[in-house]
Structure formats: C-alpha cells, structure tokens
C-alpha cells in the first residue's frame, strides 16, 4: 500500500545559514554560462572571477555575466585571494590537473561531471582533497534536485519493497563532427563519460556498486564510444539496464522498480522533473509528484551550489549525498564498460 502522501523535498534553499562564498569559474563555455546565471538568480553565492586561456573570451564572459575579474590563466584564478571556490567547466581531460592546482591553492572545488576521465584520476583527486582538508565535489546536479530527495526518502522508508530494477537512458543527437569534444578521445569524449554517467549514478544511488558489468555497443571512427547498453548485476537479485548514445535523442526517462511499487521518472530524468509512484498491482493506486519550486531546466544548477556552500559551512570536506568514494566507484563502472566497448 502506498503512503497517503509523498514526502516533502529537502531543499538547499539560499539564505538558510550557508556562507556566501566567492566563486571563480575556469572554462567560460556554455554550461559555465548557465551555472553563472543560476547562481546570480537563485543563490546567495557570488561569482567574482573567470579565467580562460583566451583573455578576450574571459573578458566577454565577465561582461555578459557581471563578473568583476577576468583572467587569462588558470593559475591566476586558482591562486586569486578573492576566490573561495573554483568551479571547473573545462573539457574533462583537464579536470584532474586544474582540480589539483585548486586544491594545492587551498580552494574548495566543484568540478563538472565527470569529475575526471577515470577512477584512478578521481582517486588521486580525492586523496589530494582529503590531505588538504578542502571540499571537492562533482557537479552531479541531479543529486541535489528536489525530486531526488523525495525519491531517496521513499527508498529509505522501504516504500518500493525489495529493490529489483533500475532502467534509465540518456541519448543525444550530437553532430558527427570529429572536432566536437565528444568525438575526441584526447578530451575524454564519448557517450558514457558525458551522458551515460547520469544513468550510472542513478543506478549507484539506488542499488550501489555493481558486482558485474556487461557492456554492448559501438564506437565512432574517432575512437570513442558512440552508444552502449550496460547491464549491471547487483546484490540481492537486482539489475540495472542503462543506455547512452551520442547518435540519437532518446526519451531520457528512468524507472526504479521494487517488489511493492515502482517509481517512473519523467524525461529528462536528471533535470528538474516529475515522477509517479505506483503500486506493483497494475490496477493499484498511484501518486504523482511535481516540483513545487518552479526552478526549471538549468536554473536547477543553483541547488548544487547552495549545497556546496552549506557543506562548507558545516565543515564538511565532501558531499554527504554524493561522496568521493561513490564518485570513484561510478567511474570504475564506466571504466569497465569503456574497456569492454573498446575491445569489442
């Protein structure tokens, strides 16, 4: 039997005691622009500096987003005395080196997903962060969205019964340009690292680290994974089936199924969205949850920024809802899948 009502979300609301940190952005691309807009409109955080290898590009970004300081090098930004947190939005091939530089400078760090291109690199980053006593967090914004906190509560309360299945897909039709970053192996391209990480992290959140990984798919001519289906085996007779692609747009929905009930998350499941909780009985009752905050699309990036500030204010050195160990584990799963695809 379903509960009489769905739980309220735990929100990372601005102005609830978290410090107003000063942020510096490395890599003034599209996602950095969305992030800067979300911070300015929906948080108590402040973007005070931006850097790019192109000083002109940094200056243009700063002018567009009302940022006071534009810098022509990463070193200048990570060592800038007015920066508390470094947000890294460069190609993932650069995440490790920039993250280590920021950690060495004593800064807290938020790094766009994937945090690095491999589990080994992520472990190096995690070890450095722990040694330095700074907070390092992957910008897995899905973990901080309102719907995720409601889903986690339902899982914790055992509403779904014995957890059995996770199904999720993330496919985008990316132009087949060999110069596009997702087609370039030296930049950490491919569907799994950039898109497939969302289904994999959902599976990890629900069912934990898999005991077996099987990947079937295909590669591009440039040598990155173009599409794949991952079948993950978990303890307790549970299984995940996860699809990702850079060749075609898919529904981008997700299902979490248990012995007693099923959660169906509407597309795009990794963004602010709605979901339905339904009894396993096909004629049973159902409850639908919709986001009450009205923060849509990339405005939802604000939740992870406020969460990071809250964690810093609490003296934490990692996210309690997306730990560094789990971040490494997710990349280990992707490492195994990528190796199988490359060898097939």
DSSP state of 47: E
Residue 21, SS3?
coil
Q: What is the DSSP string of 211-266?
A: SEEEEEEEE-TTSSEEEEEEEEEETTTEEEEEEEESSS-----EEEEESSEEEEEP
Tokens of 306: 């406020």
Q: Is there a catalytic annotation at residue 37?
A: no
Burial classification of residue 96, based on how many CB atoms lie within 10 Å of its CB (0-12 exposed, 13-18 middle, 19 or more buried): buried
Are 71 and 53 in contact, with CB atoms under 8 Å apart? no
| Residue 284 CB contacts under 8 Å (≥ 6 apart), including other chains | 2, 278
Tell me how crowded residue 15 is: count the other CB atoms within 10 A of its CB: 9
**Burial state string for 187-219 with b = 16 or more CB within 10 A and e = fewer than 16:** bbbbbbbbbbbbbbbbbbbbbebbeebebebeb
Indicate the SS3 state at residue 83: coil
Dihedral sign (CA 271, 277, 283, 285): negative
**Pairwise CA distance, residues 16 & 303, whole Å:** 13
Task: Identify the bridge partners of residue 230 per DSSP, sorted by sequence position.
Answer: 215, 242
- The residue written with tokens 């996602």 in the block is 31
Task: Please tell me the distance from the alpha carbon of residue 344 to that of residue 339, in angstroms, as a whole number.
Answer: 9
Residues 6 or more apart whose Cβ sits within 8 Å of residue 147: 9, 265, 272, 273, 274, 275, 289, 291
Q: Are 88 and 27 in contact (CB under 8 A)?
A: yes
Task: Specify the DSSP class assigned to residue 157.
Answer: T
Q: Per the residue annotation, which of 37, 107, 113, 249 is the catalytic one?
A: 113
The three-state secondary structure class of 137 is strand
Residues labelled as active-site residues: 113
């Amino acid at each position: 039997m379903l509960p009489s009502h769905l739980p309220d979300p735990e929100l990372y609301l601005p102005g609830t005691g978290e410090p107003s940190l000063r942020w510096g952005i490395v890599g003034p691309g599209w996602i950095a622009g969305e992030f800067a807009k979300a911070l300015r409109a929906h948080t108590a955080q402040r973007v005070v500096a931006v850097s790019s290898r192109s000083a002109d590009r940094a200056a243009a970004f700063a002018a567009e987003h009302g940022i006071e300081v534009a810098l022509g090098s990463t070193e200048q930004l990570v060592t800038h005395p007015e920066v508390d947190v470094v947000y890294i939005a460069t190609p993932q091939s650069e995440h490790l080196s920039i993250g280590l530089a920021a950690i060495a400078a004593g800064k807290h760090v938020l790094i766009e997903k994937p945090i690095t291109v491999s589990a080994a690199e992520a472990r190096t980053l995690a070890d450095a962060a722990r040694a330095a006593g700074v907070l390092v967090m992957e910008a897995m914004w899905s973990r901080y969205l309102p719907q995720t906190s409601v889903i986690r509560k339902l899982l914790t309360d055992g509403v779904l019964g014995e957890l059995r299945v996770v199904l999720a897909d993330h496919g985008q039709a990316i132009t087949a340009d060999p110069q596009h970053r997702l087609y370039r192996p030296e930049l950490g391209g491919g569907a799994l690292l950039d898109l497939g990480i969302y289904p994999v992290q959902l599976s990890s959140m629900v069912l934990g680290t898999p005991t077996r990984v099987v990947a079937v798919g295909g590669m591009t001519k440039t040598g990155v994974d173009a599409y794949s289906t991952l079948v993950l085996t978990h303890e307790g007779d549970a299984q995940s089936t996860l699809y990702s692609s850079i060749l075609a747009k898919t529904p981008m929905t997700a299902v979490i199924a248990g012995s007693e009930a099923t959660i169906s998350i509407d597309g795009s499941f990794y963004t602010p969205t709605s979901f339905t909780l339904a009894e396993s009985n096909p004629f049973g009752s159902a409850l639908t949850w919709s986001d009450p905050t009205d923060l849509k699309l990339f405005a939802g990036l604000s939740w992870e920024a406020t969460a990071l500030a809250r964690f810093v204010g609490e003296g934490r050195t990692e996210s309690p809802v997306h730990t560094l160990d789990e971040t490494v584990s997710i990349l280990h799963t992707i490492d195994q899948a990528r190796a199988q695809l490359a060898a097939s």
